[in-house]
A and B are shown apart, each in its own frame.
Chain A
Amino acid sequence: MTINVNPPVAPDTAMQMGPQDYIRRSASSVPAPARQLEAVAKLIDVSKCIGCKACQSACLEWNDLREEVGVNAGVYDNPHDLTPNTFTLMRFTEWVNPETDNLEWLIRKDGCMHCADPGCLKACPAPGAIVQYSNGVVDFVKENCIGCGYCVKGCPFDIPRISKVDNRSYKCTLCSDRIAVGQGPACAKACPTKAIVFGTKEEMKAHAAERIEDLKSRGYANAGLYDPPGVGGTHVMYVLHHADKPSIYAGLPDDPRISPLVEAWKGVTKYAGFAVMGIAAAAGVLHMAISGRNRVTVEDDEEARRLTAVAPGAAPLDPSKETLS
């Protein structure tokens, strides 16, 4: 019997990307890239999503992640939160619309938003642990990660998770490895209703505009695009039926911003030394556990200053030696 395989997919060279396309690199500087890639975006149309979790499944499969078999906690969300192995998670919210008194089951795919102005990258003291490409992808380079957890604090969306196994930070890569060879993210590929689509940011905005028009015609007067300006816009965007109330979708921030402390600290901070990073990592985890998420405290800020004051500074970037995560 003949074994047939998937047909080969011709790589789209125009979409290829690599370290030469970095526009930002944590705790270090990068030379201006020779070219500017077109901005990409993943659009998640919450109004078309049926919550089937094919995206979650595809994410686990493509990234070769093994999540634990958990328990039922009285809801459909499984696992119950993002983890170092769960980069994306369907969050289910039962919401009674006060205007119609009808139940609405809001199902939002949570994961990294790939901010144009990434708080995680700005907060990160480890040179090259977080990078941003000129097409907008924000990626973690785990070889450079020191597990300090500052990215968690820097993220306005509470996305990164630190692994207890290897003490490094993990989140959605926007399938940078797939994009690099001209394919879209695995979640978009798996989505049966095309609730998740991927393309250039302009295309996605145009597509969203059509969807919003359709939703308005169906009575959702406040339908709109979620592309929050507080973080410079995002490369993962949502179409929401109730764009005036993002937080009803399992706590999607109404107006996300990077903590001003991260911004201030970033102005002073440059490069952190690896020698002290081990201590910093442990301290970071401890701080995260104590001070909760999404907030950078004064103590954090001071600690970062202390660390970076003794840092010898990182070597300038050599794109040819950088690897994709």
Chain B
Amino acid sequence: MTNSWTDIRNTDLVVIMGGNAAEAHPCGFKWVTEAKANRGAKLIVVDPRYTRSASVADYYAPIRQGSDIAFLLGVIKYCIDNDKVQWDYVNAFTNAAYIVKEGFAYQDGLFTGYDPEKREYDRATWDYEIGEDGFVVMDETLQNPRCVWNMLKEHIAIYTPEMVERICGTPQEKFLKVAEMISECSTPTKTMTSMYALGWTQHSKGSQNIRSMAMLQLILGNIGVRGGGMNALRGHSNIQGLTDIGLMSNLIPGYLNIPTEREVDYPTYISSRGFKPLRPNQVSYWQNYPKFFVSFMKAMWGTAATPENSFAYDYLPKLDLPAYDVLRAFEMMDQGQMFGYFCQGFNPLLSFPDRGKITRSLSKLKYLVVMDPLETETARFWENHGEFNDVDSASIETEVYQLPTSCFAEDEGALVNSGRWLQWHWPAQNLPGQAKHDTWIMAQIHLKLKQLYQEEGGKFPDPILNLHWPYADPGDPKADEIARELNGYAVETLRDPNDPTKVTVEAGQQVPGFAALRDDGSTAAGCWIYSGCYNQNGNNMARRDNSDPDATGAYLNWAFAWPANRRILYNRASADLDGKAWDPERKLIEWDGEKWAGYDVPDIPPTSNPRDVGPFIMNPEGQSRLFSRGMMRDGPFPAHYEPFESPVVNVVAPAIRGNPVARVFESDRATFGDAEEFPYAATSYRLTEHFHYWTKHVWVNAVLQPEFFVEISEELAAERGIEKGGWCRVWNKRGSVQAKAVVTKRIQPLICDGKPVHIVGIPLHWGFTGAAKNGMGPNSLTPFVGDANIETPEFKAFLVNIEPSSGPATA
């Protein structure tokens, strides 16, 4: 989230698209009801299904899954055509006036530089014209046809209401109603918030779905303001923390990068991370990258990280591929290239696409370690459960280790919520049975490995032997100790650079925040963005002061929000060019002539002159991007692409199947189906009664939603002879499942490009362990396709066929 859950109450219009907040985030959804009560806010829901969110919406419009970009670019076009643009904001805070480099173009669904063999773009032309002064060339009059604004207008010209209806199946009058309601938020005194989740991310162009809405929000002037923003609703209570801490194969904590094997030494690595400002006076905060990186290395290897050895740069692994994401990991297992797998706190047998491939891959492992508080299906993938897990146990040789871990309510530590709040929590009960904390298990493994390296040596034991391990009980690091390490501390005594007689932080003391971090090895910090969470004032994450002066929704003394306890990112953009709030009723921070101050921690250096320094300090431009340069693999502007398996051809670019740079492995192509054989557009989702595959282990939740089902329209049920409450079979080339049929008016056939498209909704939550009835899930059917940028699997749009059935033999 750019904003926070509590800030949603400040909005005038909530758009839920690519998510179902009432269903999946019922507690957070309370802030939508608050906004309705406090400001008379309206709620729009755009979804293939009439969802629980839609049941309390002011307006609902249907859309075919996988067509969101066309819809959103249609709304952008509507706003531009009807002059519903917050011009002062767009002119001042976006790159609308920047001139795009010669050579960049878009034609027939492809941007310049496509290589069909590699399924990759050469992104050299996806950039700005740079002037002789080293800064980007601009045309503030927006007359130049090569300026971003005009290029954007040209790019979206095809997304007329007629085209939106053709692609999305959204009736024109419904699309126009939504567009009109959204466009009203272009005034400085009306804001819209976007609440989205996996309904946007789980597509082969998921990142671009989100970018499309971000661009719309910029055009409306809704980023950085109260009640605005791009608000990703995270699915797990700590999935935000997971990405922050860098549990991605290509990241280290705080969104720093793991080096690639081309970056053979530290100078090479850091040379491409200079982040020189593209406009005069801009902050370009990533210029501090070396400070954060070196402090991370000091936290990792302590005294073994020295200036002489480039702070132990050689200890870091070097990537030979862009990423070892989950799809690649299972592809490698399947190809016999990966032999061991540690599965900590998740359930890939039911969570990853193409279950057949997952079972096959797990069966090829030598060993599988499952660390989980629950009996997961993954830990029992080798057990035969009839139709629900039809495997030949005798032929599987994988050795499986189950290590029972603690549940969240038995843990101490911080969970990071969608709004980036690190909220400390305490255990509610002690560990049951032989369960151990994950930290204990990891520490024991580390110490054992270290011992083996000490006794037996190895090719390169240094990173393990020299790992900084300062915990009071080396076998059991405590949450408190790890939190202090993440915040960071002074390795040597720090002095004021302007007055060396003045000590700012004594050696060994906690640093106050990331501004104190240095690139000379005198500071250590495990995750720079968290710095400030546990400083000289103690554990700020444990703060529980819910006072909220003037009811702004900031709650600055409740827990700690990264970065720097800031509650709304880019908050300088809440004020106009002179630093006055766009909306005096929703003041956030303002320029008082000398400094920025207000209800939130300013997002720019507090004394920076409002006319000099742009709000988007992480960008070298200081401004936001309607044209994203080469930052994304699939284009500087979003473009409509169909899902890999689509009921219709791409009417914008008929020759192109799916996103041309989506993650696809050749070995999976044979498992893709077409609309002739599998005519129905399926999608997968969660239900409010359950949380993933956890709560089926809880009796009460199992009572509330006991059994696997699929949802279809009355029309499809009639067409295929399926009865409400009866059994049906859903299948494609990857698998087949049997489910109860929920026949509902909440799903309606859509007319796309003149032909009816039927939708099959497949919720996930059932398996073969736990209290609920045994069942299957959508991942028996979903394709092994990933997003072009972050490889998220395409769970939301695929093809199936359906027929009545007699139910599983072992139901």
Which residue numbers of A lie inside 8 Å of B, CB to CB? Answer: 1-5, 47-54, 56-57, 60-61, 66-76, 78-79, 94, 96, 102-105, 107, 192-195, 214, 217-218
Contact = CB atoms under 8 A, between A and B. Distances in A.
Interface stretch (B199-207, B425-433, B661-669): B425-433
A1 B53 contact: no
Contacts of B726: 74
B707 interface: yes
Nearest to B704: A53
A217 B40 contact: yes
B739 to A, nearest CB: 8
B703 A67 contact: yes
A301 B701 CA distance: 42
Interface stretch (B29-37, B260-268, B777-785): B29-37
Contacts of B55: 50-51, 104-105, 107
Given A69-B772, A73-B725, A74-B741, A3 B428 contact: yes
A61 B698 CA distance: 12
Contact of B706 (A1, A78, A195): A78
Max chain A CB contacts within 10 Å: which of B33, B40, B708?
Answer: B33
Contacts of A56: 704
Interface in B17-40: 22-23, 26-27, 29-30, 33, 36-37, 40
Q: How many residues of B sit at the interface, in one of the four size bands?
A: 35 or more
A67 B707 CA distance: 15
Given A3-B426, A105-B54, A192 B707 contact: no
Q: A-side binding surface: helix, strand, loop or mixed?
A: loop
Nearest to B723: A74
A76 B703 contact: no
A50 B707 contact: no
A213 to B, nearest CB: 11
Contact of B703 (A2, A52, A74, A79): A79
A2 B53 contact: no
Nearest to A211: B37
16 contacts: A4-B428, A50-B22, A52-B22, A52-B52, A60-B700, A66-B699, A69-B699, A69-B706, A73-B725, A74-B709, A78-B703, A102-B60, A192-B26, A192-B27, A193-B22, A194-B33
Given A1-B427, A57-B701, A67-B703, A50 B52 contact: yes
A115 to B, nearest CB: 28
B426 A2 contact: yes
B688 interface: yes
B175 interface: no
Max chain B CB contacts within 10 Å: which of A1, A69, A102?
Answer: A69
Contact of B704 (A57, A71, A194): A57
Interface stretch (B235-243, B644-652, B742-750): B742-750
Contacts of B385: none
Contacts of B23: 50, 52
Contact of B746 (A4, A73, A105): A105
Nearest to A61: B700
B158 interface: no
A49 B311 CA distance: 56
Contacts of A47: 56
Contacts of A57: 700-701, 704
Contacts of A61: 700
A303 B700 CA distance: 40
Interface string B687-716: 011000000000111111111110000000
A79 B702 CA distance: 10
B360 interface: no
A50 B688 contact: yes
A70 B723 CA distance: 19
Given A71-B773, A73-B725, A94-B744, A78 B704 contact: yes
Contacts of B52: 50-52, 105, 107
Contacts of B27: 192
Contacts of B725: 72-75
Given A50-B53, A70-B706, A74-B724, A214 B37 contact: yes
A69 B773 contact: yes
A3 B430 contact: yes
A192 B29 contact: yes
Contacts of B37: 214
B705 A78 contact: yes
Given A70-B706, A214-B37, A218-B58, A105 B742 contact: no
Contacts of B743: 74
Given A69-B703, A103-B746, 15 more contacts: A47-B56, A48-B56, A49-B56, A52-B23, A53-B688, A57-B700, A60-B703, A69-B772, A72-B706, A74-B723, A74-B740, A105-B55, A193-B22, A193-B30, A194-B30
Interface string B51-73: 01111101010000000000000
A1 B412 contact: yes
B29 A76 contact: no
Nearest to A70: B706
B591 interface: no
Nearest to A95: B745
A214 B58 CA distance: 12
Contact of A76 (B53, B54, B708, B742): B742
Nearest to A210: B37
A170 to B, nearest CB: 16
Nearest to B724: A74
A70 B724 CA distance: 16
B421 interface: no
A53 to B, nearest CB: 5
Contacts of B40: 214, 217
A60 B700 CA distance: 7
Interface in B726-753: 726, 740-746
Nearest to A71: B707
Nearest to B742: A74
Nearest to A75: B742
Contacts of A73: 725, 740
B426 A4 contact: yes
A54 B706 contact: no
Contacts of A1: 412, 426-427
A49 B22 CA distance: 9
B430 A69 contact: no
B381 interface: no
Nearest to B36: A214
Contacts of A5: 428
B50 A105 contact: yes
Given A54-B26, A214-B37, A68 B746 contact: no
Contacts of B412: 1
B811 to A, nearest CB: 9
Contacts of A3: 426-430
B400 interface: no
A189 to B, nearest CB: 13
Nearest to B50: A103
Interface in B53-109: 53-56, 58, 60
Max chain A CB contacts within 10 Å: which of B50, B689, B741, B772?
Answer: B689
A50 B29 CA distance: 9
B338 interface: no
A54 B691 CA distance: 13
Contact of B33 (A48, A69, A94): A48
A193 to B, nearest CB: 5
Max chain B CB contacts within 10 Å: which of A60, A73, A195?
Answer: A73
Contact of A103 (B702, B703, B745): B745
Contacts of A78: 689, 703-706
A60 B421 CA distance: 32
B248 interface: no
Contacts of A71: 706-707, 740, 773
Contacts of B429: 3
B597 interface: no
Nearest to A94: B745
Contacts of B708: 72
Nearest to B811: A71
Contacts of B724: 74-75
B771 interface: yes
